[in-house]
């Protein structure tokens, strides 16, 4: 995959399910497909070069016909509580509003070492699917209510060189119960 600072590679093919050729794919990505398949979660996939920002995801969004969900990995000031926040790509993260709703001190973005330790993923690849790797259940999942109004959900398969689309109900009714993860519903302001 070739990309520069201004452009990125996007395979404009919409695939159903896992890649046929898994050569060159990381084990964490293959484990993600294994779990989704085991849970009978149907998904569509597009492959692309790394997408470091939500703005870079717009063309992928259009191909998948969804709005990619922001997956933000946060921590409290003491670095003792960790959160994964899912919110629509068009909504802005407001730390004060979220902190008040969850009863936490001011939140910040967690450092890369915590992302890797708890979710086994790297910055730019943060995904709710990484919670399958949180064996110690250190990360609290927070979902903005507007995410649940969408029929489909989009995220990375623990690596930012592919994006997936699947039913939001599969996230809530199959994936989260399978990994024994509960979530807290939050309501962040639109602007």
Tens digit of pLDDT for each residue in 6-25? 566 878 899 999 999 999 99
pLDDT in tens, 163-183: 999 999 999 999 999 999 999
Sequence-ordered alpha helix ranges (H) in 54-111: 58-64, 95-102
Q: State residue 5's pLDDT score.
A: 46
Q: State residue 14's pLDDT score.
A: 92
How confident is the model over 56-81, as a mean pLDDT?
88
d(CA 155, CA 187): 20
pTM score, two decimals? 0.91
Q: Which residues contact 177 (CB under 8 A, 6 or more apart)?
A: none
Structural domains of the chain ordered from first start: 18-186 (3.90.960.10)
């Amino acid at each position: 995959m070739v990309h520069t600072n201004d452009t990125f590679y996007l395979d404009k093919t919409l695939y159903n399910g896992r890649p046929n050729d898994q050569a060159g794919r990381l084990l964490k990505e293959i484990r993600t497909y294994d779990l989704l398949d085991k849970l009978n979660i149907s998904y569509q996939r597009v492959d692309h070069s790394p997408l470091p920002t939500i703005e870079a995801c717009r063309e992928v969004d259009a191909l998948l016909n969804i709005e990619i969900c922001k997956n933000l990995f946060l921590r409290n000031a003491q670095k003792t509580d960790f959160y994964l926040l899912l919110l629509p790509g068009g909504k802005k993260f407001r730390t004060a509003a979220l902190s008040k709703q969850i009863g936490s001190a001011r939140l910040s973005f967690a450092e890369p070492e915590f992302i890797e330790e708890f979710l086994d993923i790297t910055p730019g690849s943060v995904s709710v699917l990484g919670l399958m790797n949180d064996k110690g259940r250190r990360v609290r999942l927070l979902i903005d209510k507007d995410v649940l109004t969408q029929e489909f959900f989009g995220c990375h398969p623990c690596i930012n060189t592919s994006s997936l689309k699947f039913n939001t109900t599969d996230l809530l009714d199959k994936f989260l119960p399978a990994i024994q993860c509960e979530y807290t519903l939050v309501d962040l302001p639109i602007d």
